[in-house]
Structure 1
Amino acid sequence: MTGLQVVEICAGAGGQALGLHKAGFTHTLAVELDATAAETLRLNLGGTVAVGDVANPEVWAPREYAGVDLLAGGVPCPPFSIAGKQLGSSDERDLFAWAVEQVAVVRPRALMLENVRGLSSNRFSGYRQRVLDRLNQLGYVADWRLIHSADFGVAQLRPRFVLVAMKPADFAFFRWPEPDGDRASVGEVLRDLMAANGWKHVDDWVRLADGIGPTLVGGSKKHGGADLGPTRAKRAWEALGVDGKGVADSAPDADAPHPSVRLPRLTVEMVARLQGWRAEDKWHFAGRKTSQYRQIGNAFPPPVAEAVGRSIRAALEHDGVAREVPELGADVHDPVYRALAGSDGFVSIERLVNALNEGSHASVERRLALLAQDFELEQQMTATGTKYRLGEFKGFTGQANHERHDYMERFRSRVS
C-alpha cells in the first residue's frame, strides 16, 4: 500500500473500488445513491460511505477532501447509452459535467471517470471538448480511452470509455495500461461454479461456452427483474449455452439435462465472476437477487479499474521515464465547438467550415445540430449568410435553479 487516497462518487457495488484497492489506493470516502449498494460497500470496504445524491451538499462536502490523490467515479450511463435516447446534458441524470466541475473544488492530483462507449461517439464530440477545455482551464491535462474489458481477463466485451486527468508534472508519467493478452472464455471462467453441484454435463457446456460474452446489462429500477439484457443480448448468450431469460438461484444439479436439451441460467455469483470479481475477493453483495444482479451488472469491472488505477498510481509516483506532455487542450474532439467557444461574438459558417478542415456547409450544420442538443445555440441572419454563437451549456454543473433538483425530488426512488 502506498497511502494514496481516493474519493469515489457514484460508487455502486464497488467494482471500481475493489480494483483501485488492488492498485494501491485507500478510500477516504465513497458516495452512492442506492442504499442497498451502499450497504454492499460498507460490508466490504469499511470506512466512510455516504448515502444519497452525490450532488446534494447535505450528503457530502467536496471541499473537505481538497488535495486528495484521486477523485474517481462511474457517473450515470443512461444519458450517453446507445441503447437509450442519448439525451446527454438534457438528461436529468447526467452528472459527468458536474463531476468535472468538482475538480475546481477538490483539486485532486488525478481524476478518473468512466462511462459507456456511447460517450465516445460523434454525438458527444462537443460535450467531450467542453470537458477537455474545462480541465484545461483548471490546469489539468486530460485524455480519453475506449477500453475493452475482455483485454484484461474479463469474459465479456464490456467496452468502457475512461477519462483520466492530471497536472502536467504527473501526466508526463502516465501511460494507459496495455492489454494483458489473455482473453478468457465464459466456459473456462465459470466452469467451477457451473459444476458446483456435480453437473455431469459441465464439460460439454464449457466447450459450448467457448467465447466472450456480450456486455452484461444491469438495467435500472424502472425495468423488470433480473435477466441478461435485451433480445439481441439473450440470443448472444444462447449461442454460448446460456439461457438469458433470467438468473438462477443455484448451479445445475448433478442430473440436470444436457445443454442441448435445456440451457442453464447464470447465478448471481456467476454474473459477478463474469464481471471480474474473483473467488478470492470474498466480496459480499447486500440485498435480494434482483438488487444484487443490478449492482453487479452496472459495475465497472474490477480488473479494468485495477489496470487503470495502477497506471495512475505509477504516474503519481513518477515511476518510469517522463514523456513530453502535449500542450494543454491540444487534443481537439470538436473543432466547430472550439471555434465557437473561442469567440466572443457570432461566427460565420465559412469560418466554421475552415475550422473543421476539409468540411462542408452540410457537415458543419450536422455538427451544429448535435451541439444544439447540449448547448444553447444562437443564430444571426446577415446579408452574407447565417452566423452562430455558442450560448450556455444545458447540463448540470451545480446550479441551484437547475431542473435536475426537481427531477431528483420527484423521482429519486426510480433513479439508479
Structure 2
Amino acid sequence: MYKQPLTSALQEPPLVLAPRPLESIELFAGAGGLALGFSSNDVRHRAVVEWNTHACNTIRHNKQHQVAPISHWPDVTEGDVKHFKYDAFDGIDLITGGPPCQPFSMGGKHGGFLDERDMFPQAVRAVREARPRAFVFENVQGLTRAAFADYFDYILLQLEFPSLTAKPKEQWGDHLARLRKWKNKPGAVSEYRVTFKLVNAANYGVPQKRMRVFFVGFRADQDKLWTPPAETHSADALLLSQWASGEYWERHKVATRHRPPRPEGVEKKIRTLVDADYGANLLAWKTVRDAICDLPDPERHPNKVQAHRFQPGARAYVGHTGSPLDEPAKALKAGDHGVPGGENMLRRTDGSMRYFTVRESARIQTFPDTFLFEGTWSEVMRQLGNAVPVRLASVIAESVCELLRK
C-alpha cells in the first residue's frame, strides 16, 4: 500500500506571496475607460483626476451605486490638472491617462501644439514631479500625422528627459532642438525608456475600428522596456468565418437571404488565406452584431434595458453612412455639440439607419453592462466618444503591469 513520505507530511507548504496591488494616478480620466482597464489588472487608484463635470458625475454615480471596481476608487478630483499637486505621490508605480486629443484629432480643428487644450505638457509635468516607476498615455492616430512629426518627437523626448524643462519664454521648437542635442550628447542617460505603438482596437477584440497611439515609459532604474502585446484578432479571420466556413452566420442564426452580398473577389482571397494556412492563432474581429445581438430592438421594445433608449433623427450624408452590422463599428466620436452626425449610427442590412443607443455604444466601447452613465444622451455619447475601450485598456495594462511585477 502506498504511504506518503514522512518528510512531505511534516513539511510546511511553501509560502506563496501574492503580489501587492500596484498603485496609480489616473489623469484626464473622462468616464473612466482607461482606469477600468487598469483596475482589472489589480491596480489601485490613489487619485482620479478629471475636469469635465459630466464625466465626474458619471464616475460619482457609479461609486454611489457601488458599481465595481469604481466603488473602490477614491473620490474623483474635479478640476484642472494644471493645479494638481504630486507631493504625496513620489515614486508611485504608475501614472496613466489620455491627454485631451482634440488638438490632434482627424475630426478636430487640428490646432496641435498651438491649441490650448493640448495637455501633454501636463502629462510631462506629472512624470517629472511624481517620478513614477512607469507611465501610460494614449492619444488619437492624428498625432502621428506627418504634420505633427516634430511635435511627436518633442513629446517623446520630453517623456524621456522630463527634468530637462523649457526655459522661461523658450519656444517649443527651441526646446526640441536642445532636447535633441542633449540626447545625442556622448554619455547621455535617459531618465525613462519610452516606447510608442499605434494600435487598432479591433485587433484586440474590441468591436470597433479605433486607432490609438500609446506611449509607455519605464523609469531607467527599473531596467525594463515595454513590448506591445501581440494582436489577437484579425479582419482575415472574420472573412474566413463569414465566407469560408459560414460559422459566423450560423452562430447568429442569419438566414442566407438576410446576409449582405458576398464581397467581390472573396473566393480568391479565401484561397490565398487557406493556402497560407492563415488564422490558426488569430480570432475573428468582433462585429457590431457580436456586440449587440442579445439586446432588444430599442424601437420595438423600449425601456427593457438600462440606457438602451431609441433616439430619433439619424440620417446619412456624404462620408457619414453609419457602421455596418457585420463589421466592427467605425470609431465612435465626440463632437463639440454631442453626436457628430453619422459617425455613431448603425446601418442595418436593409440600408436603414438609426443612432446607436447609449448601451450599444457602451458595448462597442466594451464598458461592462453594470456601468451607469450620468447626463443627457448627447453628453453621455460625448463621454463614450472620448473614452478608451475598456478591453483595449486592459490588454495594454496587463502587459505593463506584468513588467512592473517582475
TM-score, scaled to structure 1? 0.63
* Structure 2 counterpart SS, 1:55: helix
- Is residue 90 of structure 1 aligned with residue 137 of structure 2? no
Q: Are residues 131 and 264 of structure 1, via their aligned partners in 2, closer, same or farther at CA, if it must alter by over 3 Å?
A: closer
Secondary structure, aligned partner of 1:28 = strand
Which aligned pairs between 1:7-406 and structure 2 lie closer than 5 A?
7-42=25-60, 43-44=62-63, 45=70, 46-56=73-83, 60-138=84-162, 139-170=191-222, 172=224, 174-181=226-233, 182=283, 183-195=285-297, 209-220=325-336, 223=337, 225=338, 227=339, 229-231=340-342, 233=343, 237=345, 240-241=347-348, 260=350, 262-279=352-369, 282-318=370-406
Aligned counterparts of 1:169 and 1:106: Cα–Cα separation in 2 = 15
* Whole-Å separation in 1 of the counterparts to 2:110 and 2:351: 40
Shift of 1:132: 2.3
Where does the alignment leave 5 or more consecutive residues of structure 2 unmatched? 1-18, 64-69, 163-190, 234-282, 302-323
Task: Mark the runs of 5 or more structure 1 residues left unpaired by the alignment.
Answer: 200-207, 242-258, 319-416
* Contact 1:171/1:315, CA 8 A, preserved across alignment: no
Residue 23 of structure 2 corresponds to 5
Percentage of identical aligned residues: 32
Does the CA-based 8 Å contact 2:81-2:122 persist in structure 1?
Answer: no
Number of residue pairs the alignment of both structures matches: 280
Shift of the 80–262 alpha-carbon distance from structure 1 to 2, 3 Å rule, reads: closer
Runs (4+) of structure 1 moved beyond 4 Å? Answer: 195-199
Q: Is the 8 A contact 2:210 2:330 kept in 1?
A: yes
Q: 1:261 to 1:101 in 2, by over 3 A?
A: closer
- Residues 156 and 274 in structure 1, CA contact (< 8 A), matched pair in contact too: yes
Give the drift of 1:173.
Answer: 5.4
Q: How far is the alpha carbon of 1:296 from its aligned partner?
A: 1.2
Secondary structure, aligned partner of 1:79? coil
Local SS of the residue matching 1:115: strand
Cα displacement string for residues 354-408 of structure 1 (whole angstroms, at most 9, x for unaligned residues): xxxxxxxxxxxxxxxxxxxxxxxxxxxxxxxxxxxxxxxxxxxxxxxxxxxxxxx
Structure 1 residues 122-175: Cα deviation after superposition (integer angstroms, max 9, x where no partner): 122211222222233241010111011111211111101110011235353532
In the TM superposition, what whole-angstrom CA distance separates every residue of 1:185-221 from its partner, at most 9, and x where no partner exists?
A: 101211111457877xxxxxxxx6111111101223x
RMSD (Å), alpha carbons:
2.3
- TM-score normalised by structure 2 residue count: 0.64
